């Protein structure tokens, strides 16, 4: 079977590079213990300040076999006066291969519009980075299908079918994220329904059929099996659980 893709989004954690190294070392020890049984690839997305250090650790360990460096965001332009931003060319020079685009925390907490995310997506593609594009509704109400379709329309505006085909879609229902008030656990049935809606709309509008889909809604060792077993779900986007080194290894154990 195709290997599942496990994306570790560390957000604003850990606090030091030494702590990051501890996470990677424990994961490395686990990978060495299972040898050829590994049925997944890993992408680590640390904060910008740790990208170079984490990239160096990945290259010098067993993690080098099937592990990749990812960024949590990207600037809309490749250079110029954008204080605080990190450009695509900068990320490439650090060895970054993947970049998360449109995470729900940036959409809802930092007010990034679909139009802004569209520009960031174009920046990632322009710099030959693999975009992990987050799509998801804020609430599971009667209009969630229309919401997803509109989000797709604007996020992928003016992109060719070939460009969209280079993306990975992370279905991320905001209402299922544990850090949000009133969060409710998602089910694989709900996730598959939403992924089907996204897939069908992309096929209708852009003639895209063979996209890879991740699930990202407070994934942990207790629920990952429910999602990863589905053939339509090609992997998971793991948030808080990926920074707890013991918990992240428990997550990985459910995939091998």
Task: List residues with catalytic annotation.
Answer: 103, 172
Angle CA(159)–CA(164)–CA(170) in degrees, nearest 5?
125
Strands 168-171 and 235-238: unpaired
Task: Tell me the sheet residues that pair with 99.
Answer: 71, 131
Spell 214-227 as b/e; 16+ CB within 10 A means b: bbbbbbbbebbebb
Q: Where are the beta strands (DSSP E) in the chain?
A: 4-9, 40-45, 67-71, 98-101, 130-135, 168-171, 212-215, 235-238
Q: How far is CA 151 from the centre of its chain?
A: 17
* 92 within 8 A of 52, measured Cβ to Cβ: no
């Amino acid at each position: 079977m195709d290997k599942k893709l496990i994306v570790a989004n560390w957000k604003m954690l850990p606090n030091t590079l030494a702590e990051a190294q501890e996470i990677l070392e424990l994961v490395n020890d686990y990978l060495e213990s299972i040898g050829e049984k590994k049925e997944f690839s890993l992408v680590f997305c640390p904060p910008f300040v740790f990208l170079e250090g984490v990239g160096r650790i990945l290259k010098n360990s067993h993690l080098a076999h099937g592990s990749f460096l990812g960024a949590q965001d990207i600037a809309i332009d490749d250079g110029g006066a954008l204080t605080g931003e990190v450009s695509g060319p900068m990320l490439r020079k650090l060895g970054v291969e993947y970049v998360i685009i449109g995470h729900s925390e940036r959409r809802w907490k930092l007010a990034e519009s679909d139009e802004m995310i569209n520009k960031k997506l174009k920046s990632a593609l322009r710099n030959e980075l693999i975009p992990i594009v987050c799509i998801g509704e804020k609430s599971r109400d009667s209009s969630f299908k229309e919401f997803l379709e509109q989000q797709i329309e604007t996020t992928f505006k003016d992109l060719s079918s070939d460009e969209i085909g280079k993306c990975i879609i992370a279905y991320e229902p905001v209402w299922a994220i544990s850090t949000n008030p009133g969060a409710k656990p998602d089910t694989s049935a709900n996730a598959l329904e939403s992924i089907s809606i996204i897939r069908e709309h992309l096929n209708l509008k852009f003639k895209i059929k063979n996209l890879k889909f991740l699930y990202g809604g407070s994934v942990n060792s207790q629920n990952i099996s429910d999602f990863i077993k589905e053939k339509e779900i090609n992997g998971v986007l793991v948030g808080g659980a990926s920074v707890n080194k013991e918990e992240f290894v428990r997550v990985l154990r459910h995939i091998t």
